[in-house]
Structure 1
């Protein structure tokens, strides 16, 4: 596993973007499951982003 947080931050950004799209599409189509999946992906992305921040701080 890499000690650099850039990979985690990139994965986090991807998951946040994917989640935002799912949430928006679910909202427009009134699909509650898709909205929930989108929110879950956004939280996953935020967690990965925070993990990347921790790794970067540890390397300072």
Structure 2
């Protein structure tokens, strides 16, 4: 369960970075903001996984 979650979270961060880059390149502020949001969600989930790992 843990490794799968970590990979999904990392992928979410990477996809968010891609969306942000495309948004910047096309001057699409909505897509750029969505990408930043996806990155933030992925980062928060990663932090949660680290906390869970610390208590194992």
TM-score (norm 2): 0.89
* Aligned residue pairs, count: 56
**The structure with more helix, counted as a fraction of residues:** 2
> How big is each residue's C-alpha offset from its partner over 1:2-48, in whole Å with a ceiling of 9 and x where there is no partner?
5xx43332221011001000000000000000000000000000011
Report 1 or 2 for greater relative contact order, CA contacts < 8 Å, sequence distance ≥ 6.
Answer: 1
Whether 1:8 aligns to 2:12 is no
What TM-score do you get using the length of structure 1 for normalisation?
0.84
Q: Which runs of 4+ in 1 moved over 6 A?
A: none
Listed as ranges, the gaps of 5+ residues in structure 1 are: none
Q: What does residue 49 of structure 2 align with?
A: 52
Alignment RMSD: 1.1
Unaligned runs of 5+ in 2: none
8 Å CA contact 1:16–1:45 kept in 2: the answer is yes
